[in-house]
Amino acid sequence: MQGAGNDFAVIDCRDGAALPDAEQIRRMGDRHFGIGFDQLLIIEAPTSPGAVASYRILNQDGSFAGQCGNGARCVAHWLVRSGVTTAPEFLLDSPAGVITVRRTGNDYALGMGHPRFAPEQIPLLAEADVLQYFLPLDGEQHAFSAVSMGNPHAVFRVDSVLDAPVERWGKAVQAAHVFPEGVNVGFAEIQDRANIRLRVFERGVGETLACGSGACAAAVSLMRQNLVARSLAVHLPGGTLMIDWPEDAAAVTMTGPAVWVYDGEWRDD
């Protein structure tokens, strides 16, 4: 499946089937010798009252991820297409907590929860929550914003995403000691108050065509600084996501597509 170009393999483990181990995941995720995906989605039985299912997210390297907005939409679409639910609105148990899903035509709108800016909640080694922090990159101090959307994000504002040093800075920021659990690194270019362009270097994956939680992180970071409107189109290499954050006390809503590409059987022999 894919959501805005962020691609996934989805495995139904609701009957209690064992998860693939890290080596199996690496083989499956290889784009030349396996299926090829940014992340693996595991659908399991719900754990909360009222939820229709739960899901877990594994990166290409076999590590677990805390949240994935594009993956959550794909899980929702898988459940609808498979007939698990026909409701126009339902709940999912995600690694970051319960999320609300609403079908809007061919798209899915997700309640992504409240952004967390306190350094200890990201986590980020900093003394206080400020709008911008600084890191030395390429011999200079560069400003970034930090936020958790269920997983940690650092957001850099750039003049052009096409010219942004995504891989070089992405690797450097992920290795920085101030992010003890690593971080997803976003590079945002403001086009106008209603539109931004974004590239994301993801933890455990590298650059992807889209990152749903990264789109939310970039949007709320710029909204918090009053640089963009509270309803924002985030244009990623793989497609466009709509992010709404009406006010600081509100939860974030992300709306975008989810597409079933194909299904099959993995033979690990």
Ordered per-residue pLDDT tens for the chain, 269 residues: 999 999 999 999 999 888 899 999 999 999 999 999 999 999 999 999 999 999 999 998 889 988 899 999 999 999 999 999 999 999 999 998 999 999 988 899 999 999 999 999 999 999 999 999 999 999 999 999 999 999 999 999 999 999 999 999 999 999 999 999 999 999 999 999 999 999 999 998 899 999 999 999 999 999 999 999 999 999 999 999 999 999 999 999 999 999 999 999 988 77
Q: What is the pLDDT of residue 41?
A: 97
Taking the alpha carbons of 264, 208, 227, 174 in that order, is the dihedral positive or negative? Answer: positive
- Residues 169, 156, 101, 46, Cα dihedral to 10°: 40
Rounded Cα gap, residues 26 and 36, in angstroms: 9
Residue 259 carries which DSSP code? B
Count the helix, strand and coil residues of the chain and give each as a percent rounded to the nearest 5: 15, 40, 45
Whole-angstrom distance, CA of residue 196 vs CA of residue 102 = 24
**Is 13 annotated as catalytic?**
no
Clarify whether 68 is annotated catalytic.
Answer: yes
Give the per-residue pLDDT at 106.
84
CA 158, 162, 165, 171 dihedral sign is: positive
- Distance, in Å, from the CA atom of 84 to the CA atom of 55, rounded to the nearest integer, reads 14
Contact residues for 257 (Cβ-Cβ < 8 A; gap 6+): 3, 4, 73, 106, 107, 108, 239
Q: Which of 13, 74, 211, 216 is catalytic?
A: 211
Residue 267: the pLDDT is: 83
Beta bridge partners of 207: 201
250 vs 49: CA distance, rounded Å: 23
Q: Are 214 and 241 in contact (CB under 8 A)?
A: no
pLDDT given at position 38: 93
| Active-site choice (13, 68, 74, 216) | 68
Instruction: Tell me how far apart the alpha carbons of residues 14 and 117 are, in angstroms, rounded to a whole number.
Output: 34
The one-character DSSP state at 119 is G
CA–CA gap between residue 144 and residue 185 (Å, rounded):
10
